[in-house]
């Protein structure tokens, strides 16, 4: 058996392996996306929870300061009631008004903080709903990934064993060339030689769809490992092409 025919058998098995692993990778990508989205939600949730803690601490501080101001204003009013001179009364009144202004500013600040808390709590509620929905999707994705892995496990092991046996029969240098190409090009690592016109010796590469010289066809007929002069893939002969080329050789 020619080296190209040996490689073609390895190639066919590699295509099947790639197809099976592609199904599993698709499920894994979907699962990874759910995990990524969950992490994003959890990160956003942690940020909002941190902001809420800071706002609530600020509100508590404001309320504490407001309470102290109220107590101080009450004390000042008692002193105003017992003021002995108009000057003393006015001085106490000025101080009361100053504290009232401070209290009004604190009230406004507290309202702003409470408004932010309300909005953040609404966001947090939405995130919790999103997290719950995304968690369900992650569970489904995990089950799907596990199901697909189970479905292909036996077939994949059998194909890998077959692949190892076939590869062991291929000359090492040719196998190295093929494996490098398959890693780089995947399903485009090998392509058929297409006979366009047998009489006129017109051939094209099935990968690049560009013409190749007759010498390339003859190289394939001789059983040599032959690369496309256009894109470097490994060329092979289908049964139909091989018969057509054999007819040409026979006529000569």
Q: Please say if the pLDDT value at position 249 is more than 60.
A: no
CA 57, 61, 62, 65: dihedral to nearest 10 degrees?
A: 170
Give the C-alpha distances (Å, rounded to integers) separating 36 from 22, 49, 127, 229, 246. Answer: 20, 20, 15, 44, 58
158 phi and psi angles, rounded to 5 deg: -65, -45
Contact status, residue 213 vs residue 229, Cβ threshold 8 Å: yes
Kindly report, residue by residue over 37-57, the tens digit of the pLDDT. Answer: 999 999 999 999 999 999 999
- Where along the chain do the CATH 1.10.287.1490 domains lie? 3-168
Kindly report, residue by residue over 112-164, the tens digit of the pLDDT. Answer: 999 999 999 999 999 999 999 999 999 999 999 999 999 899 999 999 999 99
Contact status, residue 62 vs residue 113, Cβ threshold 8 Å: yes
Can you read off the two tokens belonging to residue 113? 């903080």
Q: What is the reported pLDDT for 248?
A: 57
- pLDDT tier for residue 199 given thresholds of 50, 70 and 90: confident
CATH architecture of 3-168: Orthogonal Bundle (1.10)
């Amino acid at each position: 058996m020619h080296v190209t025919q040996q490689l073609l058998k390895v190639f066919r098995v590699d295509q099947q392996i790639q197809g099976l692993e592609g199904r599993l990778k698709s499920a894994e990508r979907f699962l990874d996306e759910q995990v990524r989205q969950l992490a994003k939600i959890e990160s956003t949730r942690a940020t909002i929870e941190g902001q809420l803690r800071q706002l609530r601490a600020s509100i508590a501080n404001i309320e504490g300061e407001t309470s102290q101001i109220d107590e101080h204003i009450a004390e000042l009013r008692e002193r105003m009631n017992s003021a002995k001179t108009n000057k003393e009364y006015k001085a106490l009144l000025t101080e009361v008004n100053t504290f009232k202004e401070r209290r009004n500013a604190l009230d406004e600040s507290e309202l702003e903080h409470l408004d932010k808390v309300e909005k953040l709590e609404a966001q947090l509620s939405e995130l919790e709903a999103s997290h719950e929905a995304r968690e369900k999707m992650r569970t489904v994705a995990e089950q799907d990934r596990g199901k697909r892995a189970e479905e292909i496990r036996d077939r994949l092991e059998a194909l890998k064993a077959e692949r190892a046996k076939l590869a062991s029969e291929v000359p090492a240098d040719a196998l190295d060339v093929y494996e490098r190409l398959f890693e780089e090009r995947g399903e485009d690592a090998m392509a058929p030689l297409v006979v366009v016109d047998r009489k006129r010796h017109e051939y094209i590469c099935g990968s690049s769809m560009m013409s190749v010289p007759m010498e390339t066809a003859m190289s394939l007929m001789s059983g040599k490992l032959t690369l496309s002069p256009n894109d470097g893939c490994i060329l092979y002969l289908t049964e139909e092409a091989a018969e057509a080329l054999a007819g040409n050789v026979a006529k000569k």
